[in-house]
Amino acid sequence: MAQKDLDILRIIGLEPSEISQDYLNTKQQFQLHDLLTEKRHEKTWNLSGLARTNTASALNAILSVDEDISAKFQMIANNHELSLAVDAMKEALKHNKKIYFYGCGATGRLSKQMESSFWRPFWEKVEQQYPGRFVNMKDMVIGEMTGGDRALISSLEGLEDLQLVGELQLKDHGIQKGDVVFAVTEGGETSSVIGTILTARKQYMENEVEAAQKNLFFIFNNPEDVLTRLDRSRAVLEDPAITKIPLWTGCQAITGSTRMQATTSEQFLLGIIMEQAIYEFLTEDGGLSIKAVKDLGFSQDSLNDRLLSFIALQRATAKSVNDLAKLTDLESDAYKQSGKAIYWAESGMVTVFTDSTERSPTFRTFPLDTVKAKEKLCWLHVVSSKDDQKSAWLQLLRRPFKGMESDFYKEGFETRIEDPFLRGEALRSLTRAGKEQELLYDFSKLSIDIQPNGMGIVCLLMEDELTDDHRNFLQSYGSIPGGKSALVVTTSKTKDHRLRDPSISNAQVPIVCASFQRDPLEVRQHIGMKMALNAHSTCVMAKMGRLVGNTMTNVSPANLKLIGRATNLILMHVNDKLSGKNVQVSYSQANAILYDMIRYASETGKTGKLPEVALSIVRILEVAKSTESVTWEKAQDVLDEAGDLEAYLTSFS
């Protein structure tokens, strides 16, 4: 029997808002539910249920999806485009050209990490070892993201939907023809990233296709045939002057959460390309012997061997699952007891910081607290070993903080953004993107505020002795009611050779330890920790009821792409439950309900505090059950009584 549309808008007396109608009629290019990265992965289909009953099994399911990356790397190991990228970076080193990495959201943090975790620490070490020989090499790489350094904390609404932002940021950094540009986008459709690569392309004449190909790279994670329906993506994919590196591995462990496999694959690949390029430069043009570069940590592996080393890395990470499960249980238990977590990060600062900040938009947790916040709402805090605010930022970025300053961007936003909604969002975000934002966040160890029922975690990359500060930090959590502590290490040594320290072993501190091949840029250490922490934090949130199956039903619809994702999530879960009732809800109806939820949250002063997707699902299903109007307040009462969305959906009939 054919399904009939549930006339829900008539029942509740709702006229679709003007903004909803505009989204449906003029924003089809941001309705992306047909992308591979937006679909559900079969390995994690019932993740939320699994996490509640067996933490290790849930972690295994998440980590098993990283096997898709191994398979992809085996497929592309000999691709010419990878060698071309190595050559581009090597030539930039020889001729003192800039190397610019640009992304948005998760790939923006990837771009920051290419500079702050991989490039700068390595060249600082080389400069110390060879004084006066490789001067200023550390400044050649620029890692930038949509929104600038402030966007490391949380996304700035409206910016990623504008190609103009990518254009202006590229110009702000002075990137010119001959510089190397890596534009990285998980989905392959992010407007700001596309604006970056198209602006770089315009610096070359039409007859300079070959020269452009050698310097301009577009890395993405969806099949080309799906992306070509999008005008902005097609403009890049059909331009022969831009070298494309398609990296799509399949669905994500969490539907649409490209912070997972998409970003992992891109970051490892680019890290390996960087490693190979530096090795070739030092041995061919830098004047160092094979022994000298070996002393710096390089192997003589080929590019393909380096790329395929991911397979061993993935397996080593997966082997830590039982220890990781203990950490996951500890952290989720702390949150359930109204406690908080503090992560003390050393050389893994960017990796740990990135995982913590990306929890907020994915699972609707409170973003990192500012120093002005009277009430600390964020569930966790990341700190470094530094004693003051500015030094902590320097440890994170390895350079001074850089904002998007109004003097450079405001006029373009005011005069070149035609859509009034996007123009307003961009101008509002610009007021929160400047250099003054640095002063709002403190990651120094002096900012630590130990809470009852809390937990402390020390994250290291290489196996070193614990400092007295580390010991005191870990032990302090064992001395408060309900306090717990743990240690996360990635090491070049074997798993059995763990950090042995009486001060922590006697306190029964769980140690998560995985053995990775050491490399000069510590790419493998960072990526191994990234995979472990991504799985861990995802599983924590699943145990906290922030997922349904493997769908991010607590996603914050903060931009046009996320509005589309939220609409599709509503549609998916509602129609699944209505399938036996011979009625269904249409995309336009779901979008009208979502925008009404956004309106309601704004008018009640609860924007960012209400789960828009969950409440939209509950309201629609309650209307379907009663065929009577249901208010948002009633939907909230029903959801609160159920406990969470999964419990509500399980009981719905």
Domain range annotation of the chain: 4-40+551-651, 46-60+319-386+443-543, 79-299
Topology of the domain comprising 46-60+319-386+443-543: Rossmann fold (3.40.50)
Lowest-confidence pick of 168-177, 372-381, 407-416:
372-381
Asked if 597 contacts 569 with a C-beta cutoff of 8 angstroms, the reply is no
In 302-454, which ranges are E strands?
Answer: 341-345, 380-383
Residues in the chain: 653
d(CA 340, CA 324): 18
How confident is the model at residue 468, as a pLDDT? 86
pLDDT band of 607, cuts 50, 70, 90: confident
Percent of the chain with pLDDT over 70: 96
Percent of the chain with pLDDT over 90: 80
CATH 3.40.50.10490 fits 79-299, yes or no: yes
d(CA 250, CA 234): 20
pLDDT band of 495, cuts 50, 70, 90: very low
pTM for this prediction: 0.95
d(CA 462, CA 440): 31
Asked if 117 contacts 522 with a C-beta cutoff of 8 angstroms, the reply is yes
d(CA 352, CA 262): 18
For residue 556, give the nearest of 592, 606, 630, 604 by alpha carbon: 606
Q: Is the pLDDT of residue 497 over 60?
A: no
Question: What average pLDDT does the chain have?
Answer: 92
How confident is the model at residue 517, as a pLDDT? 74
CA of 269: how far to CAs of 110, 216, 324, 435, 574, in Å? Answer: 11, 16, 25, 31, 39
How confident is the model at residue 493, as a pLDDT? 62
Asked if 211 contacts 220 with a C-beta cutoff of 8 angstroms, the reply is no
Q: Is the pLDDT of residue 477 over 90?
A: no
Number of H helices, E strands in the chain: 29, 12
Tell me whether the CATH fold assigned to 46-60+319-386+443-543 matches the one assigned to 79-299.
yes
For residue 324, give the nearest of 548, 101, 105, 57 by alpha carbon: 57
Query: Strand 243-246 to strand 341-345: parallel, antiparallel, or no bridges (unpaired)?
Result: unpaired
Per-residue pLDDT averaged across 351-376, rounded? 91
- Radius of gyration (C-alpha) of the chain in whole angstroms: 24
How confident is the model at residue 565, as a pLDDT? 92
Rounded to 5°, angle at Cα 421 from 419 and 427: 100
For residue 197, give the nearest of 175, 214, 182, 177 by alpha carbon: 182
pLDDT band of 5, cuts 50, 70, 90: confident
Q: Is the pLDDT of residue 542 over 60?
A: yes
d(CA 64, CA 68): 8
d(CA 574, CA 606): 24
DSSP state of 184: E
Asked if 197 contacts 238 with a C-beta cutoff of 8 angstroms, the reply is no
The one-letter amino acid code at 413 reads F
DSSP state of 38: G
**pLDDT tens digits along 223-249:** 999 999 999 999 999 999 999 999 999
How confident is the model at residue 354, as a pLDDT? 93
Q: Is the pLDDT of residue 535 over 80?
A: yes
The one-letter amino acid code at 205 reads M
